[in-house]
């Protein structure tokens, strides 16, 4: 099974691109219980939407994976974003 986490951002006005790292947590182990397509969201002047796909290896384990963003200082984020996915 897969879950898609998609966010919309905007780049710094003085930068070509912005990279927003993701912190993975929860009781599931990355590389064992699930795979992630990326470990950061990247925005540039042409692309203001990015996605990370989480692919679980087995459902019904009772484990969770959580994602939280490390918002760069000065980035115009409207809210701090965290998500948790049970599987």
CA 31 to chain centroid, in Å, comes to 16
pLDDT (tens digit, 0 to 9) for every residue of the chain, 87 residues total? 788 888 877 656 666 788 889 999 999 999 999 999 999 998 887 788 899 999 988 888 889 999 988 887 777 666 566 677 777
Q: Which of 57, 59, 66 is nearest to 22 (CA)?
A: 66
Q: pLDDT value at position 79?
A: 58
Q: Are 24 and 69 in contact (CB under 8 A)?
A: no
Q: pLDDT value at position 40?
A: 94
Q: pLDDT value at position 11?
A: 59
pTM of the model: 0.78
Q: pLDDT value at position 3?
A: 83
């Amino acid at each position: 099974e897969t879950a898609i986490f998609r966010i919309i951002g905007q780049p710094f006005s003085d930068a070509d691109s912005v990279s927003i790292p993701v912190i993975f947590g929860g009781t599931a182990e990355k590389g064992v219980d699930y795979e992630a397509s990326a470990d950061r969201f990247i925005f540039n002047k042409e692309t203001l939407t990015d996605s990370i796909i989480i692919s679980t290896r087995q459902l019904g384990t009772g484990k969770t994976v959580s994602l939280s963003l490390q918002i760069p200082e000065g980035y115009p984020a409207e809210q701090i974003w965290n998500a948790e996915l049970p599987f």
